[in-house]
Chain A
C-alpha cells in the first residue's frame, strides 16, 4: 500500500445565500464563447386540424404578417431582436431594426 495517503475531509458548506462580492461574471461576457441557436420566425397562420389534414401540396397559406413586416429573431422562445429580411448573396439575411434596450 502506498504510504502518505490520507482521508480527505471537505469543509462543511452552508447552503445560505452568499453575501460576498460578485465573482466578476456580472454579464454574459464570461459566457461569450457559448454557442446560441437563433430561430428566425417569418410568421404564423392559424388553421384547424381538419384544414391541416386536408391540406394539399401547392396550397397557399396567408401568414399573419404583411410583406414589409419584420421577422423575429428568437432565442430560447424569446424574441431578442427583429429585423427585415434581406438577400445576402444567394442567402437570406436579417438586417436588425429592433433590439432590446440595454441597461447601463
Chain B
C-alpha cells in the first residue's frame, strides 16, 4: 500500500467526507424508492478511517473496486426493521422478500459507490477482517427514527473511497498534506547570534619592540581621534574577521558604545586584520 495515499485518505477534507456520506445515503434513498418505502430516513452516523475495531462483525462481500473487496454487515437488521420488523421470525415468503430487498440494497450500494458486484471469488466472512487495512473507510448507516436498530456498516477500501471524490482523482499527497511555508535565508538566520568586535587600526611593531614592552609604556596608534573604528564580525580566535562597518566611539552612560556609520560597499572597507 502506498503510504502517501494512505495518509491522503486519513486526511480527507470535510467536503470530501460529505461527498462520500451523500453517496452512501443516496444508495439508501434509491433502495427506498425502488421498494416504495417512502421518504428515506437513514443517515450516515460515522465515517471514519480504520484502525480496525475490536469486534469483528460478520462481514459479507459488498462489491469490489479494482480487485479490492468492499464489505457490508448489519444491513439485514436495518432492512428488516423497515420492511417487516426485526422482532418476529419471518415467514418463508417474508424471508425471501427480505433476501431480495438486501440484494437490491447491495445493488444500490454498488451502483452509488462505484463497485463491481461481488462474485463468488470474493472470500467471505472469515477472510474479511484480514483484508481490512488502516486507511480504509468505515461507514455507519443508521435509522434515526429507530434508535434500537444497530447501524449497518460498510467497509470501503481506500481506493474505492478516493475514486468517489469529485473528479474521481486521487488527491496529490504533496498538495493535500500540510507543509511548512518557505522562509528566506535571512529570516531563517534571523535569530542566530553574532559577535561584533570593535577595533582600532592595527599597529605594527617589531617583535623586538613587542618583547620589550613595559607597563606604563604608551603605544601611539596610527588612528586619528576623529576617525571611526572598525566593526567586524568576530570569527573566533586567530581567524580572519569580516569587516562590516565603520563606527564612531562614544559612551552610553558608563558603557563604551559605538554609533554605526552608513554601511560602505564591501570593497571600501579595510581589509580584515590577519
Interface residues on A, range: 35 or more
Considering the chains assembled together, what is the distance between the CA atoms of A80 and B210 in angstroms? 9
- The main secondary structure of chain B at its interface with chain A is strand
Q: Which residues of chain B are near A40, meaning CB under 8 Å?
A: 199-203, 221, 223
B219: which of A44, A47, A93 is its contact (CB, 8 Å)?
A93
Residue of B nearest to A50 (CB): B190
B199: which of A39, A47, A78, A88 is its contact (CB, 8 Å)?
A39
A23 interface residue per 8 A CB criterion: no
A67-B255 contact in complex given A32-B207, A50-B190, A96-B214, C-beta closer than 8 Å: yes
B225 touches A33 (CB 8 A): no
B209-229 near A? 1/0 per residue, CB < 8 Å: 011011111111111111001
A12 interface residue per 8 A CB criterion: no
A58 touches B260 (CB 8 A): yes
B254 touches A83 (CB 8 A): no
> How many Å from the CB of B117 to the closest CB on chain A?
65
A60 touches B252 (CB 8 A): yes
Considering the chains assembled together, what is the distance between the CA atoms of A59 and B206 in angstroms? 38
Q: Which residues of chain A are near B6, meaning CB under 8 Å?
A: none
B203 touches A61 (CB 8 A): no
> How many Å from the CB of A76 to the closest CB on chain B?
6
Residue of B nearest to A65 (CB): B256
For chain B residues 162-212, which have a beta carbon within 8 Å of chain A? 186-187, 189-208, 210-211
A46-B221 contact in complex given A37-B202, A62-B252, A96-B214, C-beta closer than 8 Å: no
B207 touches A36 (CB 8 A): yes
Considering the chains assembled together, what is the distance between the CA atoms of A46 and B208 in angstroms? 36
Residue of A nearest to B200 (CB): A40
Q: Which residues of chain B are near A94, meaning CB under 8 Å?
A: 218-219, 221
B260 touches A57 (CB 8 A): yes
A47 touches B239 (CB 8 A): no
Using a CB–CB cutoff of 8 Å, the interface residues on chain A facing chain B are 27-29, 31-50, 52-53, 55-63, 65-67, 69, 71, 73, 75-78, 80-81, 83, 86-99
